[in-house]
Amino acid sequence: MEAFFYLLMFCLLAYCYNNSGKSSKKPKSQKANKTIIHEYKSPNSQDKLSETKQEVFKIPLLHDCHEKIHGFKFSNDQKARKEDKWNEIRQEVFKKYGYKCSKCGSCNNIEVHHKIPLSKGGTNNIKNLIPLCHDCHEKIHGFKFGNEKKAPMENYGEQISSKKKNTNGYKINDAIEHGYKLEIEYITQHYPFENEVNIRIIKPQDIKYGYEMMENNDFIRNAKNPNEPELIFIVAFCELRKAIRYFRFDRIKILKVIK
């Protein structure tokens, strides 16, 4: 039985080799036709019900042949899985906030918003995401979205370049996820006096908009800045004060990550 299996695999390899060598000039589509290692299990006549005792074999196959054996396109399948992952994250955000807009309470046209934008180093960390209705979402971004709904791009929110790793947004999200501390330079405003700059060591725990803390935070509720409710705050344990403090994201300069 195994001899037949080896013969079958040999014929398959020969078929792939002959098809790939028909033309001396490869078409552009074949440039990405890479060799992939395919795994299969040999039939075991002594133990047909158990797969644990079956021997695993590995053979190289071209991308096209690999797709034919499995019966589906890998590129589309991988894209679908990544879109499913983003949809799972979205559902988790909706559930966390009760399937309503976190700002106005509307239950219509709810979308997921990155508090620290992806362009500033934000990630898909659940604490960096918040549900907003379409209208509130447009107001926070400051422009009208197109009417055409687009499917999420592949790896949406997960691209991490070296440039992104150096942003404050990424370092804060990373510190929250892994429990790191940050040494920061922070600007404190004392109205009507000049700003005070000091060095703090903080352990970030959450990311919030000002309006999320309006009811329980007198400082934000009575803030002089009328835009305070829509500014981003980092909720962190401050080692200087030995307590939880709120730091405005736009006033933070990260000096060092303490792992």
**pLDDT by 10-residue block (mean), the chain, 259 residues:** 62 62 47 52 44 53 67 55 78 93 92 93 94 92 71 64 89 96 90 83 94 68 64 94 93 95
The pLDDT of residue 195 is: 84
Give the pLDDT of residue 84.
76
**Three-state DSSP class for 113?**
strand
For the entire predicted model, the pTM comes to 0.62
Structure-block tokens of residue 182: 């940050």
Q: Which helix (H) or strand (E) holds 58?
A: strand 56-62
pLDDT for the residue numbered 230: 80
Strand 181-188 and strand 252-258: the pairing is antiparallel
Is 43 strand, coil or helix? Answer: coil
Q: DSSP assignment, residue 209?
A: E
- Classify the C-alpha dihedral 139-165-195-238 as positive or negative: positive
